[in-house]
């Protein structure tokens, strides 16, 4: 199944990203060890020049990873027609053992890449590169995940056989199965509703508070992560039901299909962007006391907090609209 | 924010005039880049349109087709089979179909002959002695409604039909070589006794039931071959994806060549360009600013090439019938349908194409650009 344009494109992007990162790692290591902004030695001069290349290269690689996630999900959804029993991305991802791990790894890389890009942005705005060491240490931390994501993707695509029968979302996201996602699906809509709106309102409130008063940065990050999970649970537990107007169809992927007017993208794009921005608020907070960042960090984290607040608000509004617009009546009071 | 936008605008402005100063070199790059995008986009647009067409055609075909096999070969369905299938729950209705192939010596081509039933295809019943013909047949034999046409059947008898109508051109993809005749004529022409059919088409309302029903049929009729619509669809999908992938892999050599070309272009800075960067840095530009300028240069060239190439590919595929790739991607036959593809543009495809073109270009140019950007002003101006 390798000879498919999107698969070739994805593997190409991943492979090139891995190659670039691996090639950059020795230099990153050198930067971490030998970096000394106070020195005027030739080595330091070379390192300073090299950091331009590194940050451009890595920004590019990580930006690629952000798009790759979208492409991966889209491709998985498109391939559903090629597998017996598959009706959406769930079926294709289930076609072998590597599908869902590959997706999860790609999502993890997405958030790590986003955090790295935020740090890089802060660093590039200060005059004395205060975050060089942090950035490149982080890079070495991210590298294994990028490798893992690439390996899983490769294994996934190599092992795709069109003749196997995979299970469709109906069986994976049904309330009776004994898995974590089925627990989320089985969550009664009423509780799901509370959890969903509770978490979203909390994160919006905290983000707005941070944007105004610059307080509780770590809480914003934690709340964003929590809201991300709550939002996905909410989608599983009740939003999807309203969209499909079917009391037992809990699938979070069918939302992305043309039959439902690609509504899922309206949900997931703001959600991922807002979560990444919220995590970014927490990621730059430790460096607020660095003298050269003293003016930059508050400004950036304000902006990120606004992005997070607006993103989550948009997500909540879209979800609410879907529920209000639906003909399904799930809760009667 | 506004300052940032103003800064980018100034940078773009500067970049454009800097590109215009070296017209020939940049036009060469743009041309090659555009050709690459054009080639890849043509393949993608064309296969996607074909895939779309196949899906559209199959949308109205029956969910399940049952054929009878004798010694591994397709055989006629005997009379009692239809009743057996009628009792399977979930089947909305079933009908026996009559169709066959006929080789015409005059044009050296195979025709598909069919006796339409009431509900199928909307062509309606054909009266005895009349015939409805496909557009390609009409073209090849120079026929018009009202003309007479005669065929010598496989039994040796001569049959004469009056052309009642020519099938519309829009349906040519499926009906180019089609001849429709009445059931009685069909049976007489091929000498098929009453009650026998070529295969059976079943409609199933619930798509999730299709597999169960297929299972039941194979139990009830062990000698039956069951063809599911979803399987046909899947096969088409695989074939077109595979063909597209193969062509792209073949073209990957050219992508690689293009990446090398871009690398060369970006690293072979002329003395004049070096001087320019040196002067910019001497008057206070930072390395980061030079990088930004180069980034905009790449973005502008990529965008221009992408748009030009994509539009050219669109015209090539949908207005000139993809003359370059037709033989590989379409297949051929004597009575090949002439059809215009319905333009389908897909965001997903554009993203994929982007990964195939802009991504390699960017990877290839990063390091040379950085090399240019870290140039020391004094080194350049002295040298």
Task: Tell whether A19 and A158 lie within a shared domain.
Answer: yes
Task: Tell whether A319 and A201 lie within a shared domain.
Answer: yes
- Count: domains in chain A: 2
Give B240 to chain A, closest Cα distance, Å.
9
Structural contact between residues B138 and B164, judged by C-beta atoms closer than 8 angstroms: no
Query: In this complex, how many residue pairs, one in chain A and one in chain B, have their CB atoms less than 8 Å apart?
Result: 87
Give A194 to chain B, closest Cα distance, Å.
34
Structural contact between residues B114 and B185, judged by C-beta atoms closer than 8 angstroms: no
Give A193 to chain B, closest Cα distance, Å.
31
Please report which confidence band the pLDDT of residue A297 belongs to, taking 50, 70 and 90 as the band edges.
confident
Mean pLDDT across the stretch B288-306?
88
Task: Tell whether A60 and A14 lie within a shared domain.
Answer: yes
What whole-number percentage of chain B has pLDDT above 90? Answer: 7
What sections of chain B are H helices per DSSP?
A: 2-21, 23-59, 80-86, 135-141, 172-175, 183-190, 210-220, 229-267, 271-282, 287-318, 326-330, 347-373, 377-382
Q: Which residues of A touch B369 (CB under 8 A)?
A: 56
Q: Is 60 exceeded by the pLDDT of residue A243?
A: yes
In this complex, do B291 and A56 lie within 8 Å of one another by their Cβ atoms? Answer: yes
Give A199 to chain B, closest Cα distance, Å.
31
Q: Is 60 exceeded by the pLDDT of residue A333?
A: no
Query: pLDDT digit string (tens) for A7-18?
Result: 888 888 899 999
Q: Which residues of B touch A78 (CB under 8 A)?
A: 348
What whole-number percentage of chain B has pLDDT above 70? Answer: 94
Please report which confidence band the pLDDT of residue A279 belongs to, taking 50, 70 and 90 as the band edges.
very high
Q: Which residues of B touch A81 (CB under 8 A)?
A: 230, 233-234, 237
Residues of A with CB under 8 A from a CB of B: 2-10, 12-13, 16, 20, 49, 52-53, 56-57, 60, 64, 67, 70-71, 74-75, 78, 81-84, 124, 162
Integer Cα distance of A226 and A230 in angstroms:
6
Integer Cα distance of A327 and A300 in angstroms:
42
Structural contact between residues B128 and B185, judged by C-beta atoms closer than 8 angstroms: yes
Query: pLDDT digit string (tens) for B178-222?
Result: 888 888 889 999 888 888 888 888 888 887 788 888 888 888 888
Please report which confidence band the pLDDT of residue A182 belongs to, taking 50, 70 and 90 as the band edges.
low
Nearest residue, CB atoms, A52 vs list B291, B348, B359: B291
Structural contact between residues B80 and B224, judged by C-beta atoms closer than 8 angstroms: no
Task: Decide the pairing of beta strands B91-104 and B199-204.
Answer: antiparallel
What's residue A178's pLDDT? 57
SS3 per-residue string spanning A161-191: CCCCECCCHHHHCCCCCCCHHHHHHHCCHHH
Integer Cα distance of A132 and A34 in angstroms:
11
What's residue B172's pLDDT? 74
Q: Looking at the complex, does the CB of residue B110 fall below 8 Å from at least one CB of chain A? A: no
C-beta neighbour count of A215 within 10 angstroms: 10
Residue of B nearest to A83 (CA): B234
C-beta neighbour count of B338 within 10 angstroms: 12
What's residue B246's pLDDT? 82
Q: What is the mean pLDDT of chain B?
A: 83
SS3 state at B137: helix
Q: A151, A167, A183 — which closes off a domain?
A: A167
Residue of B nearest to A24 (CA): B367
Query: What angle is formed at CA B125 by the lines to CA B122 and CA B131, rounded to 5 degrees?
Result: 105
Please report which confidence band the pLDDT of residue B122 belongs to, taking 50, 70 and 90 as the band edges.
low
What's residue B309's pLDDT? 94
Integer Cα distance of B271 and B263 in angstroms:
17
What ipTM did this prediction achieve? 0.79
B321 or B105, higher pLDDT = B105
Please report which confidence band the pLDDT of residue B337 belongs to, taking 50, 70 and 90 as the band edges.
low
Integer Cα distance of A265 and A274 in angstroms:
14
What sections of chain A are H helices per DSSP?
A: 5-34, 42-78, 89-93, 99-125, 132-158, 169-172, 180-186, 189-213, 217-234, 240-244, 263-284, 296-325
Please report which confidence band the pLDDT of residue B328 belongs to, taking 50, 70 and 90 as the band edges.
low
Query: What angle is formed at CA A37 by the lines to CA A32 and CA A38, rounded to 5 degrees?
Result: 135
In this complex, do B245 and A5 lie within 8 Å of one another by their Cβ atoms? Answer: yes
Phi/psi for B106 (5° steps) reads: -60, -45
In this complex, do B246 and A3 lie within 8 Å of one another by their Cβ atoms? Answer: yes
C-beta neighbour count of A178 within 10 angstroms: 6
User: Which residue, among A2, A3, A5, would best test binding to B if mutated, counting the most B CBs under 10 Å from its CB?
Assistant: A5
Take residue B166 and report the two structure tokens written for it: 């020519």
The domain in which residue A254 lies consists of: 168-333
Take residue B250 and report the two structure tokens written for it: 């073949």
The separation between CA B338 and the C-alpha centre of its own chain, rounded to angstroms, equals 15
What's residue A32's pLDDT? 87
A246 or B285, higher pLDDT = B285
Task: Tell whether A154 and A277 lie within a shared domain.
Answer: no
pTM of the model: 0.79
What's residue B379's pLDDT? 74
Q: Is 60 exceeded by the pLDDT of residue B345?
A: yes
Which of A181-185, A256-260, B135-139, B173-177: highest mean pLDDT?
A: B135-139
Give B377 to chain A, closest Cα distance, Å.
14
SS3 state at B52: helix
What's residue A261's pLDDT? 77
Q: DSSP string spanning B84-134?
A: HHHTSTTEEEEEEEEEEEEEETTTTEEEEEEE--SSSTTT----TTEEEE-
The separation between CA B258 and the C-alpha centre of its own chain, rounded to angstroms, equals 25
In this complex, do A5 and B244 lie within 8 Å of one another by their Cβ atoms? Answer: yes
Task: Tell whether A110 and A204 lie within a shared domain.
Answer: no
Which of A145-154, B60-69, B276-285: highest mean pLDDT?
A: A145-154
Query: pLDDT digit string (tens) for B59-116?
Result: 778 888 888 888 888 888 888 888 877 777 878 888 888 888 988 888 888 888 888 8
Q: A167, A200, A217 — which closes off a domain?
A: A167
What's residue A174's pLDDT? 62
Q: Is 60 exceeded by the pLDDT of residue B341?
A: yes
Task: Tell whether A162 and A250 lie within a shared domain.
Answer: no
In this complex, do B366 and A57 lie within 8 Å of one another by their Cβ atoms? Answer: yes
Q: A167, A189, A219 — which closes off a domain?
A: A167
SS3 state at A120: helix
SS3 state at A97: coil
What's residue A164's pLDDT? 64
Mean pLDDT across the stretch B124-142?
84
Q: Looking at the complex, does the CB of residue B378 fall below 8 Å from at least one CB of chain A? A: no
Structural contact between residues A175 and A250, judged by C-beta atoms closer than 8 angstroms: yes
User: Which residue, among B295, B348, B369, would best test binding to A if mutated, counting the most A CBs under 10 Å from its CB?
Assistant: B348
For chain B, which residues make up each domain, given as ranges? 2-58+235-382, 77-197
B77-197 maps to which CATH number? 2.40.40
What whole-number percentage of chain A has pLDDT above 90? Answer: 21
Give A10 to chain B, closest Cα distance, Å.
8
Task: Tell whether A48 and A196 lie within a shared domain.
Answer: no
Q: What is the mean pLDDT of chain A?
A: 84
Write down the residue that tokens 């309102």 correspond to.
A201
The neighbouring-strand residues paired with B69 are B74
Query: pLDDT digit string (tens) for A97-113?
Result: 888 899 999 999 999 99
Task: Decide the pairing of beta strands B109-115 and B178-180.
Answer: parallel
Q: Which residues 246-305 of B are in CB contact (within 8 Å) with A? A: 246, 248-249, 252, 287-288, 291
Q: Which residues of B touch A9 (CB under 8 A)?
A: 352, 355-356, 359
Residue of A nearest to B357 (CA): A9
Q: Looking at the complex, does the CB of residue B236 fall below 8 Å from at least one CB of chain A? A: no
């Amino acid at each position: 199944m390798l000879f498919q344009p999107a698969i070739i494109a994805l593997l190409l992007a991943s492979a090139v990203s891995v190659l670039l990162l691996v090639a950059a790692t020795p230099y990153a290591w050198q930067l971490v060890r030998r970096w000394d902004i106070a020195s005027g030695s030739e080595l330091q001069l070379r390192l300073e020049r090299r950091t331009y290349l590194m940050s451009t290269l890595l920004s590019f690689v990580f930006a690629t990873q952000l798009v790759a996630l979208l492409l991966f999900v889209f491709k998985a959804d498109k391939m559903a027609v090629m597998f017996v029993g598959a009706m959406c991305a769930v079926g294709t991802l289930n076609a072998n053992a590597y599908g869902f791990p590959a997706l999860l790894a790609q999502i993890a890389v997405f958030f790590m890449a986003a955090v790295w890009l935020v740090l890089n942005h802060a660093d590039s705005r200060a005059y004395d590169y205060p975050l060089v060491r942090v950035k490149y240490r982080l890079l070495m931390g991210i590298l294994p995940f990028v490798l893992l994501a690439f390996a899983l993707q490769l294994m996934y695509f190599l092992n795709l056989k069109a003749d196997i029968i995979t299970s469709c979302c109906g069986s994976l996201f049904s309330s009776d199965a004994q898995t974590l996602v089925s627990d989320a699906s089985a969550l009664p809509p009423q509780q799901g509703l509370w959890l969903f709106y509770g978490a979203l309102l909390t994160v919006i409130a905290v983000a707005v508070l941070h944007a105004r008063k610059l307080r509780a940065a770590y809480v914003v990050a934690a709340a964003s992560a929590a809201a991300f999970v709550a939002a996905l649970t909410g989608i599983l537990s009740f939003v999807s039901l309203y969209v499909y107007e079917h009391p037992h169809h809990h699938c979070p992927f069918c939302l992305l299909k043309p039959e439902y007017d690609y509504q899922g993208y309206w949900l997931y794009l703001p959600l991922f962007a807002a979560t990444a921005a919220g995590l970014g608020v927490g990621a730059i907070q430790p460096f607020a006391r660095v003298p050269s960042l003293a003016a930059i960090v508050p400004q950036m984290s304000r902006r990120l907090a606004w992005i997070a607040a607006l993103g989550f608000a948009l997500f909540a509004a879209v979800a609410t609209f879907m529920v209000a617009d639906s003909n399904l009546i799930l809760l009667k009071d | 924010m506004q300052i940032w936008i103003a800064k980018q605008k100034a940078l773009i402005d500067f970049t454009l005039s800097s590109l215009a100063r070296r017209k020939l070199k940049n036009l060469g790059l743009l041309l090659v880049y555009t050709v690459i995008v054009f080639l890849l986009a043509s393949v993608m647009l064309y296969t996607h349109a074909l895939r779309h067409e196949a899906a559209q055609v199959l949308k109205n075909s029956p969910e399940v087709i049952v054929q009878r096999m004798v010694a591994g070969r397709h055989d006629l369905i005997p009379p009692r089979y239809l009743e057996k299938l009628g009792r399977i729950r979930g089947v909305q209705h079933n009908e026996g179909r009559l169709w066959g192939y006929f080789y015409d010596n005059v044009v050296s081509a195979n025709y598909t002959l069919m006796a339409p039933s009431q509900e199928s295809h909307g062509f309606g019943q054909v009266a005895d002695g009349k015939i409805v013909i496909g557009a390609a047949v009409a073209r090849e034999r120079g026929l018009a409604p009202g003309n007479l046409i005669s065929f010598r059947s496989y039994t040796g008898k001569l049959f004469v039909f009056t052309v009642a109508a020519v099938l519309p051109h829009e349906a040519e993809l499926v009906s180019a070589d089609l001849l429709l005749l009445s059931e009685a004529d069909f049976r007489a022409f091929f000498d098929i006794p009453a009650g026998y059919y070529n295969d059976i088409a079943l409609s199933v309302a619930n798509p999730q039931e299709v597999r169960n029903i297929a299972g039941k049929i194979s139990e009830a009729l062990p000698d039956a071959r069951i063809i599911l619509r979803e399987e046909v669809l899947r096969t088409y999908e695989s074939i077109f994806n595979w063909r597209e992938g193969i062509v792209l892999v073949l073209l990957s050599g050219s992508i690689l060549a293009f990446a090398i070309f871009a690398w060369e272009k970006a690293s072979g800075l002329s003395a004049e360009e070096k001087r320019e960067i040196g002067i910019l840095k001497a008057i206070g530009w930072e390395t980061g600013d030079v990088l930004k300028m180069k980034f905009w240069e790449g973005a502008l060239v990529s965008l221009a090439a992408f748009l030009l190439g994509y539009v050219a590919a669109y015209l090539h595929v949908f207005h000139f019938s993809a003359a370059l790739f037709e033989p590989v991607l379409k297949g051929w036959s004597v009575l090949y349908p002439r059809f215009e593809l319905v333009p389908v543009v897909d965001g997903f495809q554009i993203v994929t194409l982007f990964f195939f073109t802009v991504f390699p270009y960017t990877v290839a140019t990063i390091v040379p650009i950085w090399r240019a950007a870290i140039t020391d002003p004094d080194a350049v101006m002295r040298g």
